[in-house]
Chain A
Amino acid sequence: MKFWLSIIYQSERKRLFIGLFWSLLTMLSGVGLLALSGWLITATALAGLAITAGLIVKLDMYMPGSGIRYFALSRTIGRYIERLYNHDTILRLIATYRVTIFKALSHKPLHEIRQTSDSEWLSRLTSDLDALDGILIRYTIPTLSTGLVILLVSAFLCFIWFDFAAVFFLTAALSWMLLIRLSISLTKGAAKASIAQLNSTRESLISHIKGAFVLSSQNMMDTHQTNTLDELSLFEYHHAALQKRIAKLQFITDSLFGIAQGAVLFSGLWAVNNQIIEGPTAVMLALLFIGVSELLQTIPEQFSTWGKTQYASERLKKLAVKKVETCSANIDHIKTITCKVKNLPTIPASFERKVSFTLADTKPLFITGRSGAGKSTLAKLLFKLTPAVSPNVDMKINKHSVTGISSKSLYSVCSYLEQSPSLLSGSLYYNLTLGLNNVDEQKIFDVLAKVELLEWADALPEGLNTWLGESGGQVSGGQARRLCLARLLLRNPALVVLDEPFNGLDNTMAKRIYERISPWLEARKSIILLHEVPTFVIESGVDYHHVDVDLK
């Protein structure tokens, strides 16, 4: 959590202090309102009695009266501004956190992102981020301002009754610290356990539901659900334990403070009898303490989410820690690509023989093999999407080992059409021009025509501005793949790798598209991964390289 706290301190220091000020003002006004009213009532009661007894008493009613009115007003206004201001801060913070995570992730080696991009953390990212707002609005601002209230009230009490002030300060400060520590240590474990359990329950359920097609026919949904229900019971157990702990802690805190309030009243009245302080002051002390203890009593509840926040912040920190790429080599052109793979588990054939190729010209290189043979692995190694295990893998561009080439320069000269198409939620234009500046619309229509999507795009309700992606959803798998191809055609890389570009296309369309993009392919180095070299390529008689990665 320190990591996220330090971001608050670095990026929003000023706002933190101003927010703290408003929160402090609100709390002090609340405590002051109660204490001053108590003083006023007691003072007037005693003065009234004295007057009826015939004594002459001078009591200024107006100073405390306007004090009370001031506190009433400053509390209301303070509260409003505090809430608004700190909400603004928290929104800024979460935005900063988001950018921090995004930047850090985008600097990570791609193979690390790959490992995580599919998995369940993605679905939890939002709630994890939400949990972080507790750092500011639960643990920082109210806690610090309660601490400051204790400090200021103690200082004020020093002028009235020093001994009491000392005891008050020690008790309040000590219970402030103890309460924070206790609340955290008592709930942390249970909170973490319950979240962790919730996640495994979720996984278990998803798996159960995904199995419906297999399980239902055999009438096994009921027996298979026990797994998930057991996970659920365990979650309920942890959750109940957590709530019970919080409730118990609250009970103990409240009763101790209740007794302490009695003790303060007792010592105040005792001091009056011993002529240390006046009667009104004694009541004021009691009410001051009630006000302060009400602030302290909220601590267990505030800190009960600590475990959850910590769990979230630890997970997010893993994502947000920047890794500086150590590779120093930059490339701006491609002369030769050489690849030698031996004994790599993901390429079975590499146990049989050395899988290798060298590409130094612009003749297309076909790498073929059945699915699972490791064609994509080769491409992923080249694009650093899979960590290279030396000495099994020796992949070089212009004599630089690929692992030593900076990702930025690598991706600026090499383009990769992945096997599964990926479109972002955004307009068609946005998707096609991602990472490019000022692309001419005509150029876009040209590449769309090459992949036979021009008619489709023309028929779209908003043309190039039509929204695609998750909420769009008008794109079929085959269309998405062709869009991704079109996206590459707009670029001018020195090397292009196409992974199963014709999957899901019928043979004649594949042929037409291949012929149309041939000039573009021949203008650069190209590697094409397929089950087998297509007949239309063989028949066309053009020269090509071929590497087979099947087991012999």
Chain B
Amino acid sequence: MPDMTNISGTQFLKQQIASQRPLLYRSVVFGGCASLFMIAQWLLVAFIAHSVLVDSSSLSSLWVYWLLLIVVSVVKPWLNFQQSNQAQVASAKVKRSIRSTLMTRWNNTSPVALQILSGGAIASQWIEDIEAIDGYFSRYWPQQMLAVLSPLFIIIVVAYLNWLCAVLLLVSAPLIPLFMVLVGMGAEHINEKYALLRQRLAGHFLDRIANLSTISLLGAQQTMSEEVATRGDNYRQVVMKTLKLAFLSSTVLEFFTSVAIASLAIYIGFSLYGAINWGPAQSLTLYSGLAILLLAPEFFKPLRNLSAYYHDKASAVGAANNIVASLTQLQYEEEQYGNGDARKITLSERDARLELKNLVVGYRSHLPLNKSVTAEISKRGLLVFSGDSGCGKTTLLNTLAGYLNPIAGEVNVTINSKRSIAYLPQKAWIKNASIRHNLAIAAPAANDPQMLAALEKLDLTNEITLKHQGLDTVLGEHGQGLSGGQMQRISLARVLLNPSQIILLDEPTASLDIKSKGLIYGAIEELREKAIIAISTHDPRIVSMADIHIDLTKKVKAPQ
């Protein structure tokens, strides 16, 4: 995958095209063939009309042409069908590849760096932004080729029929790039202006809806619904002002199409009537006249389509800009926190070991959070870091987990597999799924009785079965129906079911009730017999349990 940072959205899209060129070209070839068949169709119509009306041929003597007309009428749409199929397949592949690139990128990013992008922002990138790219590949890109090809075919045929008409069309041909720019600028203009205003309007509306209960509690519903109405109306007035101008560009296109048809019709009419004698007027017949008339709108059609698809391009570029910006930001954050894992990990079947050597941690290298820490613990035991908030407790755990590079010193780890370090953040991670599923994430082998036993140990069985449906209870978005303590205990149950060799707990008892705290102390006591536990906390009870206790409170100057 090419570097996707620090480039523009347009460049990003071009990079993607490179990988799908064959499919996209195939789509263009089908589209080009469709244009040829379209030309054939109108030539046949004109020819048949001419033969019957002018040459007085009988309808039946033209059976070959009728048959051809039917064939052409079916083959042309089939080619268009293929054209869109190929482009859609290309688009689907592009979307898939961007999505897996992003996913891999996020998977391999330190969660600390990932934190700066909210879950919602990541999802809207992965879902909406990438969907917004669809139209660029499935419609806009092939059409932009066809907008050149198809008129070219038509002009050649028209020139063959009557060069003056071709000249008439050609006069407007140099205007085509101009149209494109006009249309493009117009569309871009609307899109930019729109996007910001829309975002603001939508943001306002969402904010008010999200806070509706506050608004109701304060008795401000009426004021607020008036505010929503006024906002909507102001938005409309501003947008309409810009639209008046923006729509003009496509009107110009419309105007040229109409005028071209009208002037060709009148020129051809007069020539056929004999009112014009100069130039190639004499050679015009009903056949060539009718064919030119039928082809004239087709000359402008691809361009009109392109302008209709311009919206696809604009939204794709906008989406690509978003993606690139966030990748660039992510890369920047990573550079700040350190790329990759700086821990020394030894995979071995021997006893697990965790060693901190003169370790200094911090998010920014010029801002170390603690004095250097040295500690070593192997096989099992409880290592506790305490200190005021902001002294680097969590940061230290993040460093031990490999999410953050140390500013100085080193972390040496001996474990039997890369999966043997469990990390429990302060805010428990509970999936929007059943309790069973939630426990199985970290303990895929556990069965129901084991799960129930673990929950029982943390006194969750009663609380859960009392209120809900046991292991099948579905936990809602924010651990609906569960208190913070219960969520923390569920995530601890995960660890109890499948204890890792090293377990990192970040403030496991912060802002919990006494009962939950007690249960968590019990679980820690149990786990310390099996594994190395490192806890960051300011809970004096946990501190008193520690085998090794390190107070991080005292700050030091940056190591020179």
> Which residues of A does B touch, CB under 8 Å?
33-34, 36-38, 40-49, 51-52, 59, 61, 64-65, 68-69, 71-73, 75-76, 79-80, 83-84, 87-88, 91-92, 94-96, 98-99, 101-103, 105-107, 110, 113-114, 117-120, 122-123, 125-127, 129, 198, 201-203, 205-207, 209-222, 224-225, 228-229, 232, 236, 239-240, 243-244, 247-248, 250-255, 258-259, 261-262, 265-266, 269-270, 272-273, 279, 282-283, 286, 345-346, 348, 351, 370-373, 383, 385, 407-408, 411-412, 415-416, 418, 422-425, 434-435, 469-471, 487, 531, 551
Contacts and interface: CB of A to CB of B under 8 A. Distances in A.
Consensus secondary structure, chain B interface: helix
Contact of A418 (B214, B228, B268, B442): B214
Given A65-B269, A106-B221, A214-B442, A79 B251 contact: yes
11 contacts: A72-B259, A125-B209, A205-B123, A211-B431, A214-B423, A218-B423, A236-B96, A254-B76, A255-B74, A372-B483, A487-B218
B203 A222 contact: no
Contact of A198 (B59, B127, B206, B429): B127
B293 A37 contact: yes
Interface string B404-424: 000000000000001111111
B273 A44 contact: yes
A45 B272 contact: yes
Nearest to B239: A91
**Most chain A Cβ neighbours within 10 Å, of B210, B228, B268, B418:** B210
Contact of A269 (B52, B81, B224, B239): B52
A205 to B, nearest CB: 5
B344 interface: no
A102 to B, nearest CB: 5
B207 interface: yes
Nearest to A244: B85
Contact of A87 (B240, B425, B432): B240
Contact of A216 (B72, B110, B119): B110
A217 B229 contact: no
A41 B54 contact: no
Interface of B: 41, 45, 48-49, 52-54, 58-59, 66, 69-70, 72-74, 76-78, 80-81, 84-85, 88, 92, 95-96, 99-100, 103, 106-111, 114, 119-120, 122-124, 126-128, 131, 138, 202-221, 223-225, 228-229, 232-233, 235-236, 239-240, 243-244, 247-248, 250-251, 254-255, 258-259, 261-262, 264-266, 268-275, 285-286, 289-290, 293, 297, 401-403, 418-425, 429, 431-433, 441-442, 463, 466-467, 477-478, 481-486, 491, 500, 504, 511-516
Contact of A250 (B80, B213, B421, B491): B80
A68 B168 CA distance: 17
Contacts, number: 393
Contacts of A101: 209
Nearest to A345: B467
A551 to B, nearest CB: 8
A106 B477 contact: no
B53 A279 contact: yes
Given A205-B127, A255-B74, A45 B289 contact: yes
Contact of A222 (B107, B511, B514): B107
A42 B236 contact: no
B74 A435 contact: no
Contact of B262 (A71, A253, A551): A71
B124 to A, nearest CB: 8
A110 B233 CA distance: 28
Given A47-B273, A214-B424, A255 B73 contact: yes
A420 to B, nearest CB: 10
B205 A125 contact: yes
Across the A-B interface, the 5 shortest Cβ-Cβ residue pairs: A258-B73, A370-B513, A372-B483, A95-B232, A435-B220
A212 B74 CA distance: 54
A45 to B, nearest CB: 4
Given A72-B258, A114-B213, A244-B85, A216 B54 contact: no
Nearest to A262: B69
Given A44-B270, A269-B48, 5 more contacts: A42-B290, A61-B269, A98-B228, A255-B78, A272-B53
Contact of B401 (A49, A216, A418): A216
Contacts of B106: 209, 212, 221
Contact of B80 (A33, A251, A348, A434): A251
A61 to B, nearest CB: 6
Most buried by B among A101, A415, A434: A434
A125 B206 contact: yes
A82 B165 CA distance: 31
A217 B275 contact: no
A427 B402 CA distance: 42
Contacts of A212: 106, 109, 111, 114
Given A91-B235, A110-B216, A434-B220, A122 B206 contact: yes
A348 B425 CA distance: 27
Contacts of B403: 213, 216-217
B203 A415 contact: no
A147 B449 CA distance: 67
Contact of B70 (A102, A113, A262): A262
Nearest to A240: B92
A211 B114 CA distance: 11
A99 B228 contact: yes
A273 B229 CA distance: 65
A42 B203 contact: no
B247 to A, nearest CB: 5
A184 B103 CA distance: 35
Contacts of B126: 202, 205
A423 B248 CA distance: 43
Name the residue among A76, A240, A261, A407 with the largest chain B CB count within 10 angstroms.
A76
Q: Among B88, B114, B123, B500, which residue has the most Cβ atoms of chain A within 10 A? A: B123
B432 A434 contact: no
Contacts of A211: 429, 431, 441
B233 to A, nearest CB: 6
Contacts of A41: 265, 268-269, 272, 286, 289-290, 293
Contacts of B92: 236, 239-240
Contacts of A210: 119, 429
A24 to B, nearest CB: 16
B334 to A, nearest CB: 13
A232 B268 CA distance: 57
Given A106-B221, A117-B210, A119-B477, A72 B262 contact: yes
Contacts of A261: 45, 73
Given A91-B239, A248-B81, A411-B219, A372 B486 contact: yes
Contacts of A105: 209, 212
Contacts of A107: 221
A424 B80 CA distance: 51
Given A99-B225, A216-B111, A412-B219, A470 B203 contact: yes
Contacts of B272: 41, 44-45, 47-48
Contacts of B244: 84
Contact of A46 (B53, B81, B483): B53
Contacts of A106: 212, 215-216, 221, 224-225
Contacts of A251: 77-78, 80-81
Nearest to A504: B511
A222 B106 CA distance: 10
Nearest to B91: A243
A236 B442 CA distance: 29
B273 A59 contact: yes
B322 to A, nearest CB: 15
Given A61-B269, A209-B106, A255-B77, A425 B114 contact: no
A385 B214 CA distance: 11
A80 B85 CA distance: 33
B463 A209 contact: no
B223 to A, nearest CB: 7
A118 B429 CA distance: 17
